[in-house]
């Protein structure tokens, strides 16, 4: 079993030391929770959703469990938290049942914030007093911060779902309405093909599932210049998209029939006049990327459009040639945006919405999980999930990479997901 991480650990801004970075990332989480009431932070609107309170506690538990002990004997903040805030680390100990997180009212929000402050103070003290921190220990702290950033995005996907269940439709953040803009026509860009390399091999931070870098054969193919937008998706619906089994995977069609689905998750009516967003109910903007589609919907749309979804290798092969910039959490938009510019080249590879690929989530050849309990982070989920790439408007800029592999089951809709098309080279 190799070391958990290797070599250097400096994915973040080079000028920023670890303590500053810790403080900045943790503060972002608090800022994202700030618009919410104690009551909002309680709700688990479906088993996949966690209450905000739990996200705040769990990310703190991660530092208490995996980081503080690196610096010597650590006294537990509050017995019981190690069960309540353990997500799925069976080698650490028992977990409170995931689907029941919404029934826990104590510790309340104020106590959880105390817990955060307490752990933050301890981490700061340890970092300030440590003479040196080994690369391995730095790695664990960085992992904790990347973990925190994953939960920042989940906090937003989850509270959006929570608010969507309230017929009074609360608003996470207010925003002025806006006018649709013209979107340039989609174009197609060739993907670097033949024997290529994908995966991460820098000593900088990456998750275990992005390693090792390895060769793949990529066929001659093309990727579309931008994400599919609401207007295009309306055309799919108008053409009977949700009534034609020949467009769907067998499992996807069963899902459509069981759930009587006729539109993406937050479209408020079958005709798509209104959409629920973090800014409340809004007129559906045809020029914005279509979001909250399942893999089934992305796959069916692509078939209808005479195209297909890209494989993750195709996606990465092209994305690696693009600048890592886009409409990410740092932009503060909290919504996917239409592509800017004149339509030349490929756009929106990073940010806006996670892009479904046609690749199931499996291990790379020679994959080694992180060492010890952290080995439960990624590897045990490599079953019946699908790879998404590129991040969304809720993903931090210093959290995403060309090799980053997000993964969710095919019926997932409540994440910030979208569709990018690909096709075989003609």
Contacts with a second copy by CB under 8 A lie at 37-45, 53, 80, 83-84, 88, 90-91, 96, 100, 102-106, 108-109, 162, 165-168, 170, 195, 214-217, 219, 221, 245-246, 248-253, 311, 358-360, 362-363, 365-366, 376, 380-384, 410, 424
Task: Decide whether 125 or 251 has the Cβ nearer to a second copy.
Answer: 251
Distance in Å, CB of 423 to a second copy, minimum:
11
d(CA 286, CA 282): 12
Task: Decide whether 262 or 363 has the Cβ nearer to a second copy.
Answer: 363
Angle at 375 between CA 418 and CA 11, to 5 degrees: 60
Task: Decide whether 180 or 409 has the Cβ nearer to a second copy.
Answer: 409
Distance in Å, CB of 195 to a second copy, minimum:
6
Pull the structure tokens for residue 164.
């969507």
HEC profile of the chain: CCCCCCCCCCCCCCCCCHHHHHHHHHHHHHHHHCCCCCCHHHCCCCCCCCCHHHHHHHHHHHHHHHHHHHHCCCCCCCCCHHHHCCCCCCCCCCCCCHHHHHHCCCCCHHHHHHHHHHHHHHHHHHHHHCCCCCHHHHHHHHHHHHHHHHHHHHHHHHHHHHHHCCCCCCCCCCCCCCCCCCCCCCCEEECCCEEEEECCCCCCCCCHHHCCCEEEEECCEEEECCCCEHHHHHHHHHCCHHHCHHHCCHHHHHHHHHHCCCCCCCECCCCCCEEEECCEEEECCCCCECCCCCHHHHHHHHHHCCCECCCHHHHHHHHCCCCCCEECHHHCCCCCCCCCCCCCCCCCCEECCEEEEEEECCCCCCCCCCCHHHHHCCHHHCCCCEEEECCCCCCCHHHCCCCCCEEECCCCCCCCEECCCEEECC
Distance in Å, CB of 63 to a second copy, minimum:
21
Task: Decide whether 3 or 383 has the Cβ nearer to a second copy.
Answer: 383
Region of residue 424 (left: phi > 0; alpha: psi -120 to 50; beta: else): beta
Task: Decide whether 182 or 246 has the Cβ nearer to a second copy.
Answer: 246
DSSP state of 217: E
Residues in the chain: 426
Task: Decide whether 108 or 286 has the Cβ nearer to a second copy.
Answer: 108
Distance in Å, CB of 159 to a second copy, minimum:
9
Distance in Å, CB of 39 to a second copy, minimum:
4
Task: Decide whether 252 or 338 has the Cβ nearer to a second copy.
Answer: 252
Distance in Å, CB of 361 to a second copy, minimum:
8
Task: Decide whether 42 or 329 has the Cβ nearer to a second copy.
Answer: 42
Distance in Å, CB of 181 to a second copy, minimum:
33
Distance in Å, CB of 19 to a second copy, minimum:
32
Distance in Å, CB of 95 to a second copy, minimum:
11
Task: Decide whether 327 or 378 has the Cβ nearer to a second copy.
Answer: 378
In the three-class reduction of DSSP (H, G, I as helix; E, B as strand; rest coil), residue 267 is classed as strand
Question: How far from the centroid of its chain's Cα atoms is residue 215's Cα?
Answer: 26
d(CA 85, CA 65): 10
Distance in Å, CB of 246 to a second copy, minimum:
6
Task: Decide whether 36 or 353 has the Cβ nearer to a second copy.
Answer: 36
Task: Decide whether 13 or 38 has the Cβ nearer to a second copy.
Answer: 38
Distance in Å, CB of 144 to a second copy, minimum:
21
Q: Which residues contact 73 (CB under 8 A, 6 or more apart)?
A: none
């Amino acid at each position: 079993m190799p070391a958990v991480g290797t070599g250097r650990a400096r994915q973040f801004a080079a000028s920023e030391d670890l303590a500053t970075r810790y403080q900045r990332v943790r503060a972002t989480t608090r800022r994202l929770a700030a618009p919410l009431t104690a009551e909002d932070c309680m709700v688990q609107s479906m088993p996949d959703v966690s209450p905000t309170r739990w996200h705040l506690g769990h990310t703190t538990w991660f530092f208490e469990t995996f980081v503080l002990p690196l610096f010597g004997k650590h006294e537990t903040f509050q017995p019981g938290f190690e069960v309540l805030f353990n997500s799925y680390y069976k080698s650490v100990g028992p977990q409170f049942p995931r689907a029941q997180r919404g029934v826990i009212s104590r510790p309340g929000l104020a106590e959880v914030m105390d817990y955060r402050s307490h752990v933050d103070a301890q981490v700061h003290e340890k970092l300030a007093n440590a003479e040196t921190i080994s690369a391995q220990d730095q790695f664990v702290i960085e992992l904790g911060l990347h973990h925190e950033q994953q939960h920042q995005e989940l906090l937003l996907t989850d509270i959006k779902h929570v608010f969507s269940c309230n017929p009074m439709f609360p608003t996470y953040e207010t925003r002025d309405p806006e006018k649709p803009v013209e979107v340039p026509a989609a174009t197609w860009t060739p993907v670097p093909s033949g024997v290529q390399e994908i995966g991460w091999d820098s000593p900088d931070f990456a998750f275990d599932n992005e390693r090792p870098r390895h060769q793949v054969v990529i066929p001659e193919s093309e990727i579309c210049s931008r994400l599919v937008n609401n207007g295009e998706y309306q055309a799919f619906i108008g053409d009977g998209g949700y009534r034609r089994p020949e467009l769907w995977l067998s499992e996807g069609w069963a899902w459509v029939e069981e759930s009587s689905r006729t539109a993406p998750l937050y479209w408020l009516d079958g005709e798509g006049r209104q959409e629920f967003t973090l800014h409340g109910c809004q007129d559906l903007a045809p020029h914005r990327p279509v979001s909250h589609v399942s893999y089934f919907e992305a796959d069916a749309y692509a078939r209808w459009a005479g195209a297909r979804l890209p494989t993750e290798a195709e996606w990465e092969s092209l994305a690696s040639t693009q600048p890592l910039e886009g409409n990410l959490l740092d932009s503060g938009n909290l919504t996917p945006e239409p592509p800017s510019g004149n339509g030349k080249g490929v756009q929106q590879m990073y940010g806006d919405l996670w892009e479904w690929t046609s690749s199931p989530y499996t291990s790379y050849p020679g994959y080694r999980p992180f060492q010890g309990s952290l080995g439960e982070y990624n590897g045990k989920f490599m079953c019946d999930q699908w790879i998404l790439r590129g991040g969304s408007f809720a993903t931090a800029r210093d959290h995403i990479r060309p090799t980053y592999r997000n993964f969710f089951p095919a019926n997932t809709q409540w994440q910030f997901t979208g569709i990018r098309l690909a096709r075989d080279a003609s």
